[in-house]
Chain A
Amino acid sequence: GENVEQHPSTLSVQEGDSAVIKCTYSDSASNYFPWYKQELGKRPQLIIDIRSNVGEKKDQRIAVTLNKTAKHFSLHITETQPEDSAVYFCAVRRGYSTLTFGKGTMLLVSP
């Protein structure tokens, strides 16, 4: 089955810095790559996703890049703010199979 590795497991940055989280996957046929943010005690919420026919997608301070050849994709957050502090999960899906999640990255943004 699909294997998703997510790094780093924890990331501490100063407010205003950029943060980058990277995920690698094993199934070259995977075609859907969402990122979820989960604040403490709350449900995971989709923040951005990308399909396999696109190399990059941006939404304000958040961007995702996909390298299908290397089988990795990354989440980029610019101008981080304390409210960005949360656990971020990447996920991978092939067709109508299940979403396979990475183990998560705890991002801490210090004022």
Chain B
Amino acid sequence: KAGVTQTPRYLIKTRGQQVTLSCSPISGHRSVSWYQQTPGQGLQFLFEYFSETQRNKGNFPGRFSGRQFSNSRSEMNVSTLELGDSALYLCASSSGTFDTDTQYFGPGTRLTVL
């Protein structure tokens, strides 16, 4: 099976702009989780979507939002970008049907905010 893919791989934006990142899960997986990775904070959970519904949400401001489509592909959006939003954004997919599912990560999108 093809792995988790993310597009784009790199993005440069300026403060105040908005950005949309995309994640395509492994075929058959219905859960997609998003994480922000920074050197200081490690891997921080943003949100999880399962069958087009947000199942879990992390402690990020409302500028961070997401959605999932009927084919399980997911997008996350960050509005009014701030310098501190510069990070590697990772998505991970799993079947979502077992509480001990393995999560498989995508390669990430490196976002730089200038």
Contact = CB atoms under 8 A, between A and B. Distances in A.
B105 A44 contact: yes
B110 to A, nearest CB: 10
A51 B100 contact: yes
Contact of B90 (A43, A46, A102): A43
Contacts of B107: 42-43
Contacts of B74: none
Contacts of B35: 101
Contacts of B90: 43-44
Contacts, number: 52
Contacts of B48: 98
B106 A49 contact: no
A18 interface: no
Interface string B47-60: 01000000110100
Contacts of B104: 46
Interface in B21-43: 33, 35, 42-43
B42 A43 contact: no
Contacts of B43: 44, 89, 101, 104
Given A96-B55, A98-B58, A103 B33 contact: no
A100 interface: yes
B99 A99 contact: no
Interface string B76-110: 00000000000000100000000110111111100
B71 to A, nearest CB: 22
Contacts of B55: 96
A104 B102 CA distance: 19
Contacts of A96: 55-56, 99
9 closest Cβ pairs, A-B complex: A101-B43, A43-B105, A32-B100, A103-B42, A98-B45, A98-B56, A95-B99, A44-B105, A43-B107
